[in-house]
Amino acid sequence: MGPFDILSALPEKFKVAQQSGELLFFPSETHGYHDEDTGVEFQVRLCTVLQKKPVEPTDLLPKEERADITSVPKDPFEPPYVPQLHVGDLYLEDTDYGTKSEYVVLLNKFSVVPHHFLLVTKEFRPQSSPLLPEELVQTYLLLLAARQANTHYIAFYNCGKNSGASQPHKHIQFIEVGSDGPPVERLAKKATLEVAGKPFAISSLPYANHVFRLPPLSFNSTPVELNQALFPPFLSLLDLVISTVRHDPNYPTGFPSYNVIFTLEHIHMIPRRHEAYTIEKTQERIDINSLGFAGMLLAKSEAELESIKEEGIGKILRGVGLESVHELQVAGTALEVP
């Protein structure tokens, strides 16, 4: 199959998987939230049915053991795949370098939004490792295929034990969004670059964030051309994440954790300190992954929704992220349009 075949198959595959009971869809409603501290229009998705979500065997393990592949009884991303959740296989051949990478595309078993799918490496690669050039290319080809199918998707990657990653087998997730993208992408589009081809930060966000604006790319681009357009920007953002971590004397030991958000126009990368935030008043735990930093949070109850609003989303994200030192790293690369 090719990327366009995957996107074309998604609606029917999702319907059949849900009817079979192998895919559990949890209806939700989206609430807009204007964060007074940042002036950002965030989204909070309320999904009360998630309180009744079945517990997977890996969910019963402590976080430290979930991050260790030797502690997990079965890798859910290893074959044999559940047929109803298996959308198809993808193969990316690079004739210039003589390499071939293989992936499986699976529907997310527990879906809050329709057609949520995963791009999973066929061979085991750790979720704590940076994305490879071929993984970036395959991700971008799927986003291009979605646009050709008149839908709009974002991709995201939770890297490391404090990023919100739930499985140790390398996987990139895709969800459908509106034509204007998630809240953080709307902010990135408003940024006026003084210097093209360099990372910039969205200064209205109260935490370290690094963004790169991509050049226009298409299906006519070869894998080598896509690689050259995607991998150097990814590395430059990763360098900034590592630099941000090094500026923090109290950062946890071990490999840095970070979130990556992909659109056709930008790559966003956010360094992480903590996996979850604890609401001061109620002591509720709010888990945050890449979607939180895309400006799309999840609440499992009306009470949790109100707690999130009262605490302030900017404060929550700042609590699990790091302080920005972007001006020390890259000066004068972007001015924001009010």
Strand partners, 74: none
Q: Is 328 helix (H, G, I), strand (E, B) or coil?
A: helix
Strands (E), 98-194: 99-107, 110-111, 117-121, 153-159, 171-176, 191-193
Tell me the C-alpha distance between 212 and 267, whole Å. Answer: 5
Q: Which of 24-28, 90-94, 289-293 has the lowest mean pLDDT?
A: 90-94
Average pLDDT value for residue range 258-278:
97
Residue 317 has pLDDT above 60, yes or no: yes
Looking at per-residue pLDDT, the higher value among 72 and 315 belongs to 315
Report CA 83 to chain centroid distance, whole Å. Answer: 25
Q: Among residues of the chain, what percentage have pLDDT more than 70? A: 88
Phi/psi of residue 298, nearest 5 degrees: -125, 135
Q: Is 60 exceeded by the pLDDT of residue 84?
A: yes
CA-to-CA separations, 57 to 72, 134, 161, 222, in angstroms, rounded: 8, 31, 18, 42
Please tell me the distance from the alpha carbon of residue 317 to that of residue 319, in angstroms, as a whole number.
5
Look up the pTM and report it. Answer: 0.89
SS3 279: coil
Q: How many CA atoms lie within 13 A of 278 on its CB side?
A: 2
| Strand ranges of the sheet holding 296-299, from the earlier edge strand across to the other edge | 29-34, 41-46, 296-299
Q: How confident is the model at residue 335 (pLDDT cuts 50, 70, 90)?
A: very low
| Beta strand 153-159 pairing with 171-176 | antiparallel
Q: How confident is the model at residue 94 (pLDDT cuts 50, 70, 90)?
A: low
What pLDDT is stored for residue 68 in this prediction?
A: 47
The residue-averaged pLDDT of 87-114 equals: 84
Which tops the pLDDT comparison, 92 or 230?
230
Q: What is the predicted pLDDT for the residue at 98?
A: 55
Q: What is the pLDDT of residue 53?
A: 58
Is the pLDDT reported for residue 54 higher than 70? no
Confidence of residue 332 (pLDDT cuts 50, 70, 90): very low
pLDDT category of residue 37 using cuts at 50, 70 and 90: confident
Amino acid at 116: H
Label residue 48 by pLDDT band (50, 70, 90). Answer: confident
Q: Is the pLDDT of residue 321 over 50?
A: yes
User: By mean pLDDT, which of 5-19, 31-45, 84-98, 127-141 is the weakest?
Assistant: 84-98
Domain architecture of the chain: domains with CATH: 3-55+73-330 (3.30.428.70)
Whether residue 336 is predicted with pLDDT greater than 80 in this model: the reply is no
What does pLDDT average to over the chain? 87
Asked if 157 and 258 touch (Cβ cutoff 8 Å), the reply is no
The answer, yes or no, to whether residue 90 has pLDDT greater than 90, is yes
Range of lowest pLDDT (43-47, 55-59, 121-125, 245-249): 55-59
Q: Which of 200, 187, 180, 158 is nearest to 66 (CA)?
A: 158
